[in-house]
Structure 1
Amino acid sequence: MRLVLLGPPGAGKGTQAGLLATKFGVPHVSTGDLFRTHVAEETPLGLEVREYLSGGELVPSELTVALVAERLGTADAARGFVLDGFPRSVVQADALATILTGLGKRLDRVLEFRIDDEIVVRRLLARGRTDDTESVIRHRLRVHHEQTESLLAYYAGHTAVIDALGEVEDVARRVLDSLGE
């Protein structure tokens, strides 16, 4: 199973990605985790990532794509994967298509997690992180909506919409239903 999970921060994508990865025996590939791992291991790509992150900048698409391509080329991803946090743009979606073509694979489904912005704001504020101020959260939501519009058009016909409101188990059931499981 090769899945892409789209949705705003706080929609529960990471939680559901972990559950799906376990169910299907495939890796949960999170760009945030990839960044942290490469930085901690001080790989050549990690050293590049560190430069951007330490300067408070976004990691460029080319570097993100390189990290994802490397990860999807590993043995444990041969049977599938659950992508969380990638792609974030049509350019990255094109890159993913190229990566998969090169591996002789295809994407099975895109899951769009939908949840009301006000609920996301409440959820993220409740986490109590110092960088999760209301203005920052609302900015991240605006950016997410701008990016997602073009991605949803790009993936039209391959996307299942998931109501992300409710208990983890309820959302998981909706996800599996959308996959025919």
Structure 2
Amino acid sequence: MRVVLLGPPGAGKGTQAQIIAGELGVPAISTGDIFRANVTGKTELGTQAKVYMDAGDLVPDEITVAMVSDRLAEPDAKAGFLLDGFPRTIAQAEQLRDSLTELDQHLDCVLELVVDEDELVRRLSGRVVVVDGKPVQREDDKPETVRHRLEVYREQTAPLSGWYDQAGLLATIDAIGEIDEVTARALVALGHQRDDDETAEQPTDR
């Protein structure tokens, strides 16, 4: 399967991406990993991206999309993938669609993790790091900062829900609950049955 995972900060995308991809038998691909690999490997695209990153600017879509396209063209992604953190805008989604068309591929599903905003603020503002033996809240995890991050998500990324819904690709699930519960909902939405479930439902000899 070829899946895009959507959801606001704090929805648990990173955790679910790894688990769901493992269940589907496809690589979990995050833009963060792609950027690090290109910058560390000093690829042409990585060198171009680093100029913008060092200046504190956003990396242009054409560079980001080119990096993602290169990753999706690798052998392990030919049979499927799960994209986490990309696309972030409708413009990126359109470019991703065109890139997949060039690879003679298409998305099977866009899975959106839905969480109430107050719960997201509670989750993110509750995170701490330990500095000199003392728990400290990071600046980007303070409630006012978290709400700003969610506002940016609503403006830039949330419109993807409607865009993919119109394309008939969107599936939404409630992402509140235990990790395994959320995973189970995701797999049902994707039409995938876990191996242990399959075994449990095999007919018995009479």
What is the RMSD of the two structures over their aligned residues, measured on CA atoms?
Answer: 1.4
Q: Which amino acid aligns with 2:41?
A: E
Partner deviation per Cα, 1:133-157 (whole Å, 9 max, x = no partner): 3232211111111223421221112
Paired residue for 1:165, among 163, 176, 179?
176
Letter in 2 for 1:105: Q
Alignment deviations for residues 58-88 of structure 1 (CA, whole Å, 9 cap, x no partner): 2221111011010001110000100011111
> 2:172 corresponds to which letter in structure 1?
V
For the residues of structure 2 that align with 1:52 and 1:115, how far apart are their CA atoms? 32
**Is residue 180 of structure 1 aligned with residue 191 of structure 2?**
yes
- Per-residue CA deviation, residues 159-181 of structure 1 (Å, 9 max, x unaligned), is 11111111110100000111122
Name the larger-Rg structure: 2
CA distance in 2, matches of 1:123, 1:4: 23
Distance 2:146 2:117 in 1: 10
Number of positions where the alignment pairs a residue of Structure 1 with one of Structure 2: 181
User: Shift of residue 92 of structure 1?
Assistant: 0.7
Matched, 1:121 2:132: no
Secondary structure of the residue aligned to 1:160 is strand
Q: Residue 47 and residue 127 in structure 1: after superposition, are their counterparts in 2 closer, same or farther (change >3 A)? A: farther
Instruction: Give the unaligned 5+ runs of structure 1.
Output: none
> Is structure 2 residue 40 aligned with structure 1 residue 40?
yes
Q: Secondary structure at the match of 2:113?
A: strand
CA contact (8 A) 2:4 2:109 kept: yes
Q: CA deviation at 1:46?
A: 1.6
> Could you tell me how far apart the structure 2 residues matched to 1:136 and 1:38 are?
29
2:146 match: 137
Whole-angstrom distance in 1 between the partners of 2:26 and 2:107: 14
Percent identity between matched residues is 52
Following TM superposition, the consecutive aligned residue runs of length 4 or more in structure 1 with deviations greater than 6 angstroms are none
Question: 1:79-118 residue pairs with structure 2 within 5 A?
Answer: 79-118=79-118
The higher relative CO (CA closer than 8 Å, separation ≥ 6) is in 1
**Aligned equivalent of 2:54:** 54
Instruction: Report which stretch shifted further, 141-150 or 161-170.
Output: 141-150
